[in-house]
Amino acid sequence: MSNLEGPSHSLTRPGRDIRLRWKEDMIPQESLLHQPITYVGPSGDLDPMLLAHRSYKDRISSVSKYTKATYYRMRPLQQNGGSLLPPAVFTLIEDIPGRQTDLSESSEQLRDELRSRFEEKIDSITASGLLALYLRYVHPVFPIISRHQLPAEEDCVLDIPLGLLAAICATALPFVLYDDALCVESFRLPTQDELFELSWNALVEESSSPSIPTLQGYLLQLHRHYDAKVQSCDALKWSLCCQTISMAQVLGLNEDPSFWITLPGWERHLRKRLWWACWVTEKWIAFGQGMPSHVHQRDFTVDPLTQQDLVDYESKDWEPTSYFVHLVRLTGILDDIMESFFTIRATARMMENVQESLQAARVFRQRLKEWHQNLPPELNDDSVKEGRSNGILDRSPNELNGNASLRIAFFATQLAIFRALIRPVSMYFLYGKRHPGTFPEHAAASITKEFISATMQGAVSRLRDFIGFVERLTTADWDAFWPGWSRHNFALASTLLMHCHLLASSPELGWIPLNPSEIHSVSSPEDITLNNSVLEMDGTNVPTMTPSTQSEVGILGRKWRWILRLVARGAAGKKNLTDISLHRIDALFTEWSQAQISQ
């Protein structure tokens, strides 16, 4: 065993307790950031147990002169800390002439052509300016790059791999207005679509032998806001998302790197951030598109993200933000909600078990409450709202506010709970009332007047808060960086609002139907007011729905449509954040009105 001495590090997970002691400066460290490495999984034909018996130079690498493969292990064998598992191993295959088609002459020519096309559009000074804007407005909320991977000299910015560099420039392009030098050059800059297309073509060339920059480029592609006219963007984005997750696994990002002492500390932090960025992105896209997640807890060992993981460079321009840490924690709650309510099996089970649904909903609402209470002041909308009511904004007058997307994600998570609770009510009146005998009796018995009232009241209350928050957003909020999944969060609110409207105006519920024309017309915001009194008490002191609830749902619909039309004229429309939401609620209101008239 090694006699290395040093600070004790502990990592506790279910089933194991590892304690390692070392002096990292005694272990050779080598960055693998730009290497097209492949993680050796436990069941593959390259058995990591077998590779553990190889001799490793400097306790890091081992080269096979026959296969041209280099094996890298992430810690010395003797530093096992009591674990029976061997060190994680990666392989790097040297280029063999005639065997690697992606390095053929035509492929090299294509890469050179793409690089030339990019440099015709973006010179080193412009690229450096766009990179600075990216670090200022995107990195604080989506920290997927490290200062250590960026060149120190402005002239060397073009040395960044093209797939990543073009994606960075494309992502930063909307912020050109906020740069004193670039704003006057905006007329000669390429469009976002042009840069993203260049990035994508370069990434495709890299994907057969991906490295960390390739993955970073894929992540930025996932946060691209497609034009509203691109009907297939959802299918494209989900396919790309799945490819990104598989690439992350090839690169071994799903393994915890905390004790991989053969890698520099900054690279370990970066790998950890990248895994959680992939995880968060996949969960929200799956949620917004109604797809099953491909990432499960059994398939990764990465420790929870901490604020310290965001620090890899001592500079005020690179100060860590708590946004991403709290987004990861919120996504953990969303993931559990998805597992409990929205998998195929959970959907069927919860439809027939209202009590189980209520119990789960209470737990999730409490977790969301605690998450919100633990937000720091700069992320807590209550303090921002108070400042706005006093005419004072708690931010620099020259800064954008990227926190609004986190709050929208919080609302979407809340609304997901009520979407799940409303489903059995909706199906009960679809099947049980219109087609007697088709709805299970034991499930129907749980759908009481009290349950319907509480569910509708909760949904309307959350929708009211959501719509009120969106109404208060300013240009400084809309112009900030918004994750690519955000457009679905707005659309989900429209969907739930229409579902509530459908149920509230259903004759089967015994409530007075709304006049469709009252909802369909939009005049001005002055005549749109909300009635906060939506419940009345009957003789048993049980809250029951009244026509005022139905009326408020309709008024909320009118108000929401008006807000969406207003924001569509600005940054929200340019980024296509609200186009789906507006089109959906317009279409549903129109179709519903026509259906009512035809009846």
Count the residues in the chain. Answer: 599
| 10 domain-assigned | no
Q: If we measure between CA atoms, which residue out of 457, 551, 447, 552 comes closest to residue 508?
A: 447
Long-range contacts of 573-578 (CB under 8 A, 24+ apart): 574/174, 575/174, 575/225, 575/478, 575/482, 576/225, 576/226, 576/227, 576/228, 576/487, 577/225, 577/478, 577/482, 577/486, 577/487, 577/490, 578/487, 578/490
Q: What is the DSSP string of 168-197?
A: HHHHHGGGGGG-TTGGGGGGGSPPHHHHHH
| 177 domain-assigned | yes
Q: What is the DSSP string of 452-468?
A: HHHHHHHHHHHHHHHHH
Enclosing domain of residue 137: 101-260+270-297
* pLDDT of res. 557: 87
* pLDDT of res. 83: 67
Q: If we measure between CA atoms, which residue out of 169, 170, 284 comes closest to residue 238?
A: 284
Angle CA(497)–CA(581)–CA(290) in degrees, nearest 5?
A: 80
Q: What is the DSSP string of 226-241?
A: --TT-TTHHHHHHHHH
* pLDDT of res. 573: 82
Q: Which two tokens stand for residue 6?
A: 């040093």
110 and 88 share a domain? no
Task: Give φ, ψ of 60 to 5 degrees.
Answer: -120, -55
78 and 106 share a domain? no
568 and 495 share a domain? yes
* pLDDT of res. 25: 47
**Beta strand pairing call for 61-63 and 38-39:** unpaired
Total structural domains within the chain? 3
Task: Give φ, ψ of 54 to 5 degrees.
Answer: -70, 160
| 229 domain-assigned | yes
| 70 domain-assigned | yes
* pLDDT of res. 542: 32
Across 133-171, b (16+ Cβ under 10 Å) vs e yields: bbbbbbbbbbbbbbbebbeeeeeebbebbbbbbbbbbbb
Pair 270, 251: CB distance under 8 Å? no
CA 9 to chain centre: 31
| 288 domain-assigned | yes
| 53 domain-assigned | yes
CA 319 to chain centre: 22
106 and 81 share a domain? no
248 and 334 share a domain? no
33 and 62 share a domain? yes
Distance separating alpha carbons of residues 18 and 169, to the nearest angstrom: 42
Handedness of CA 225, 230, 231, 234 (dihedral sign): negative
Q: Going residue by residue through the chain (599 aa), what tens digit of pLDDT does each one get?
A: 333 333 333 333 433 333 333 344 455 678 888 888 898 988 888 888 888 888 887 768 888 888 888 888 888 766 655 567 788 888 887 655 555 555 566 778 888 899 999 999 999 999 999 999 999 999 999 999 998 999 888 788 999 999 999 999 999 999 999 999 999 888 899 999 999 999 999 999 999 889 999 999 999 999 999 876 655 678 889 999 999 999 999 999 999 998 898 899 999 999 999 999 999 999 999 999 999 999 999 999 999 999 989 987 666 566 668 999 999 999 999 999 999 999 999 998 988 888 899 999 999 999 999 999 999 998 986 644 544 444 444 455 568 889 999 999 999 999 999 999 999 888 888 776 666 767 777 777 778 888 888 898 899 999 999 999 999 999 999 999 999 999 999 999 999 998 888 888 765 554 333 333 433 343 333 333 333 333 333 333 333 445 566 678 888 988 998 999 999 888 888 888 888 878 777 777 777 666 655 55
485 and 395 share a domain? yes
79 and 148 share a domain? no
* pLDDT of res. 540: 34
336 and 226 share a domain? no
Distance separating alpha carbons of residues 505 and 546, to the nearest angstrom: 11
Instruction: Enter the pTM of the model.
Output: 0.85
Pair 171, 145: CB distance under 8 Å? no
Q: Would you call 593 exposed, middle or buried from its count of C-beta atoms within 10 A (0-12, 13-18, 19+)?
A: middle
Q: Which two tokens stand for residue 492?
A: 């989900």
374 and 483 share a domain? yes
Task: Give φ, ψ of 362 to 5 degrees.
Answer: -60, -45
**Residue 515: which residues within 8 A CB-CB, separation 6 or more?**
none
| Alpha helices for 428-546 (secondary structure H) | 441-446, 449-472, 475-478, 486-504, 516-520
Handedness of CA 437, 443, 444, 445 (dihedral sign): positive
Q: If we measure between CA atoms, which residue out of 492, 322, 310 comes closest to residue 415?
A: 492
Q: Which two tokens stand for residue 517?
A: 């024309």
* pLDDT of res. 177: 94
Q: What is the DSSP string of 40-80?
A: --TTSSS-HHHHTTS--BTTTEEE-TTT-EEEEESS-TT--
**Residue 498: which residues within 8 A CB-CB, separation 6 or more?**
557, 584, 585, 588, 589, 592
182 and 81 share a domain? no
228 and 361 share a domain? no
Q: If we measure between CA atoms, which residue out of 76, 87, 78 comes closest to residue 39?
A: 87
| 541 domain-assigned | yes
Distance separating alpha carbons of residues 406 and 555, to the nearest angstrom: 26
